[in-house]
């Protein structure tokens, strides 16, 4: 037990050190979330709003209101602000009394103009409450296992938002960093949630094999169909960021495919590894051939729902884009050859291919590793 605690603590310490060092390297050439505008953003509560009566505030394409500042040097002061109405009023959320919002202060405004401007409603508080409720439920249901899951989720979140994204914005090699983060997430998650044992090692090797095949397929398809990486108008703006090296849009597609497939690949590898480990522990005479056959059978049963899960996740995340494409493209041939649609299809197919390849790889590794481990313990 003491050895298990020591290895667990070692994995946690290594993860913290890795993320800290990687963040320093990833952000050393790009001021990630450290812009001057951030110092001019303030939280506020709306205390009164000018009625919607066609008055001057609306004819000037803005809504006037008063708000109480919640932070900054002018905390608790009432300021006059404006909300731009440069789109159809019915399509935006107008501020109301009691709303928590973000205000941008522009002290250089000319006399007679508002120096405070509405930026966005504060929605993170509600999401944070939901996240806390999820964490509490996970702890109540999973107990120590739930705590490990929360810790691995926290490390994964930091790895993506504090390491991978800053590395991309810094103009670093996206292929290298996406594979590095994928490796870290897989190893860290399995070691923290399941410990350092034969089952975790088998799962890790199966995951890495599936991710490697998915990445290889992505590179092959990139060469065959000649992607540009411009999947939307927003992609073009990445080319104009001030980075040491231009951002490779094709590499971003590669990263989205590999990162997006990790969860499903890790899930199916863990299911097979856990099942075969349980079979070997209960049926001591089970040999490598029996475990391999069992793993393939289990994998076939899981494959259908897992592939659907991956495909539905991609469709659900881009449903608005799909609807727009269907509405504004009258030609089916044109629609199916648009790069945005092609990339979505690649994510679905290559991710599913990664899952498919993970099944025999994990089954074979488990069959060999578990039988050798059992022989040594006799």
What pLDDT sits at residue 30? 63
Handedness of CA 257, 263, 267, 273 (dihedral sign): positive
What pLDDT sits at residue 57? 44
What pLDDT sits at residue 114? 56
Task: Give the residue extent of every domain in the chain.
Answer: 2-28+143-377, 37-122
DSSP per-residue codes, 328-350: H---HHHHHHSHHHHHHHHHHHH
Backbone angles phi, psi at 66, to 5 degrees: -115, 145
Per-residue pLDDT of the chain (378 residues; tens, 9 = 90+): 566 777 888 888 999 999 999 988 888 766 555 554 556 788 899 998 876 544 444 445 778 888 888 887 888 888 888 887 765 545 577 888 888 988 888 765 444 455 788 888 888 888 889 999 999 998 898 888 888 889 999 999 999 999 998 888 888 889 999 999 999 999 999 999 888 888 899 999 999 999 999 989 988 988 888 888 887 777 777 877 776 777 888 888 888 888 888 888 888 899 999 989 888 888 777 788 888 889 898 888 887 777 777 777 777 767 777 777 777 766 777 777 777 778 888 888 888 888 889 999 999 999 888 887 544 444
Token pair 């990162």 in the structure block, residue? 259
> CA torsion 125→131→135→137, rounded to 10°?
100
DSSP per-residue codes, 259-307: HHHHHHHHHHHHHHHHHHHHHHHH-TT--HHHHHHHHHHHHHHHHHHHH
What pLDDT sits at residue 58? 45
**Rounded distance, CA 89 to CA 242, Å?**
35
In this structure, are residues 258 and 218 in contact, taking their beta carbons and an 8 Å threshold?
yes
Count the Cβ atoms, other than its own, within 10 Å of residue 352: 20
DSSP per-residue codes, 9-22: HHHHHHHHHHHHHH
What pLDDT sits at residue 360? 92
* Topology of domain 37-122, CATH: OB fold (Dihydrolipoamide Acetyltransferase, E2P) (2.40.50)
**Rounded distance, CA 189 to CA 195, Å?**
9
What pLDDT sits at residue 377? 43
What pLDDT sits at residue 160? 93
């Amino acid at each position: 037990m003491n050895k298990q605690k020591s290895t667990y603590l070692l994995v946690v310490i290594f993860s913290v050190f890795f993320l800290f060092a990687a963040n320093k390297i990833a952000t050393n050439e790009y001021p990630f979330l450290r812009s001057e505008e951030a110092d001019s953003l303030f939280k506020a509560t709306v205390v009164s709003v000018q009625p919607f009566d066609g008055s001057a505030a609306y004819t000037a394409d803005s809504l006037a209101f008063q708000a109480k500042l919640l932070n900054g040097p002018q905390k608790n002061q009432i300021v006059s602000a404006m909300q731009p109405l440069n789109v159809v009023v019915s399509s935006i959320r107008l501020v109301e009394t009691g709303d928590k919002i973000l205000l941008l202060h522009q002290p250089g405004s000319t006399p007679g103009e508002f120096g405070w401007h509405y930026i966005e409603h504060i929605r993170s508080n509600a999401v944070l409450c939901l996240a806390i409720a999820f964490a509490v439920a996970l702890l109540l249901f999973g107990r120590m296992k739930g705590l490990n899951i929360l810790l691995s989720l926290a490390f994964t979140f930091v790895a993506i938002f504090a390491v991978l994204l800053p590395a991309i914005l810094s103009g670093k090699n996206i292929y290298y960093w996406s594979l590095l983060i994928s490796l870290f997430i897989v190893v860290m998650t399995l070691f923290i949630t399941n410990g350092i044992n034969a089952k975790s090692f088998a799962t890790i090797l199966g995951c890495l094999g599936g991710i490697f095949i998915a990445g290889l397929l992505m590179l092959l398809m990139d060469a065959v169909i000649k992607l540009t990486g411009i999947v939307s108008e927003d992609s073009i703006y990445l080319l104009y960021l001030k980075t040491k090296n231009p951002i490779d849009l094709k590499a971003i597609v590669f990263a989205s495919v590999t990162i997006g497939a990790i969860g499903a690949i890790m899930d199916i590898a863990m299911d097979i590894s856990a099942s075969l480990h349980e079979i070997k522990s209960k049926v001591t005479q089970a040999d490598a051939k029996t475990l391999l056959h069992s793993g393939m059978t289990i994998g076939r049963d899981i494959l259908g729902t897992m592939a659907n899960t991956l495909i539905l996740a991609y469709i659900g995340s881009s449903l608005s884009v799909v609807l727009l494409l269907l509405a504004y493209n009258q030609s089916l041939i044109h629609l199916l050859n648009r790069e945005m649609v092609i990339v979505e299809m690649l994510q679905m197919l290559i991710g599913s291919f990664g899952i498919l390849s993970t099944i025999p790889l994990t089954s074979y590794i488990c069959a060999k590793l578990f039988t050798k481990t059992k022989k040594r313990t006799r």
